[in-house]
Amino acid sequence: MLLAGMTIPALWPLDLHTAAKHRVLRAYLDGWIPVMGHQALRVGEHDPRLLLVDGFAGPGRYATGESGSPLIMLEALLSHKSFEELADVRFIFLFIEQDEVRVEHLRKEVEDLGDLPKNVIVRIEHGEFEGVFSSVIDPIIEKGAHLIPTFAFIDPFGYSSASMSITGRLLDFPRCETLFFLPMSFIHRFVGREGQEAALTSLFGTDEWRVAVPLQGQERTACLLELFERRLKQSGGVEYVRSFQLRTQDGNDYRLVFGLGHLKGLEIAKDAMWSVDPVAGTSYTATTESGQEVLFSPGDMVDTAPLLAELHSQFGGEWFTIDQADRCTLVDTPFRKAHLRRLTLQPAERVGNLEVLRPGRGFKNARMRFRL
């Protein structure tokens, strides 16, 4: 990640933390596409459509040959097992890039994919994200209409070119979600530095970032991240915000921040984060060994004791359902729904800590309570 104003070549090498970022993006889209696609069909509109936006698209491919985010988004759809079922849904891709050289390279990369299916439309726009995307959503706002369901990937070079204003206007629409790449180390470093005031106020949509100026270290980072998440959640369509940490080999700290409108989106986001960090689901640190990325070993186990403790804290000795337990897992803990039944509830029941009344097998329609 480079600061705004610095020049970069059309192509650059892919680093490990960027590869991890792209795995989160791809995993999220793998879940988002069928859910939103089938929802668009169920609504019964004459022209069911979904919009996928890459606000800082880049040239489409890295110097080492790997796909950039625009191609990853297209590949997630075209290779999806549900794509044929969604033939009546129009998928509109809007790729925005302000550098003309990178725009032309991206156009060539998309052309090289060959003829796209008739329900896949790609628009590549040369310009700044805020200006181009404002031209899309402002007329809709003026008419009092709704934007079609949208996913936006906002991955700026630095932080001065991404405004909370445009992000907030997008997220005020229902069924619109975003994944924001936040260069936390750079924000931390430049808070309080002369000349950064306007960029920081634009990023956060407020000057409340000033409270972080006298803070140091992790306290400053936590303050700034909390402010960014809180500002996202103030958007009308956002119900849940979740962050994932990416650390580079040289120690820089970046965050992927999801702004989500529905519990299902939160479930998909958590599954995506756990696909990259299968131990805790919260972070990734780029490290190498003999030139290869160090992956988690198959023997790594997830410790679900904190999940059990949170369930016990919330429900005590009261009866609760599996739906209530699912919601607690997703909203109030870092864990996935997949961690709940086999890894948490079943062991608790086996050792006698959990009483379960069930009409059949499993936990569907069951009532549970902890034995105090």
DSSP for 54-111 reads: ETT-TTSB-TTS-B-HHHHHHHHHHT-TTTGGGTTSEEEEEEEES-HHHHHHHHHHHH
70, HSE (Cβ side, Cα atoms, 13 Å): 30
Phi-psi region of 147 (alpha: psi -120 to 50; beta: other; left: phi over 0): beta
- What is the rounded distance in angstroms from the CA atom of residue 200 to the CA atom of residue 202? 5
Helix (H, G, I), strand (E, B) or coil at 269: helix
Distance CA 208, CA 210 (A): 5
**What pLDDT is stored for residue 158 in this prediction?**
62
The amino acid at 25: L
pLDDT at 9: 45
Expressed in angstroms, the distance from the first to the final Cα of the chain is: 52
State the pLDDT at residue 195: 86
Indicate yes or no: pTM above 0.75.
yes
Low-confidence ranges of the chain (pLDDT < 70): 1-13, 44-45, 158-163, 165, 288-300
User: At a CB cut-off of 8 Å and minimum separation 6, what does 195 contact?
Assistant: none
d(CA 219, CA 215): 6
Half-sphere exposure of 214 (CA within 13 A, CB side): 1
Handedness of CA 97, 101, 102, 106 (dihedral sign): positive
Q: Is 243 exposed, middle or buried (0-12, 13-18, 19+ CB in 10 A)?
A: buried
E strands, 127-281, in order: 150-154, 176-182, 240-247, 253-260
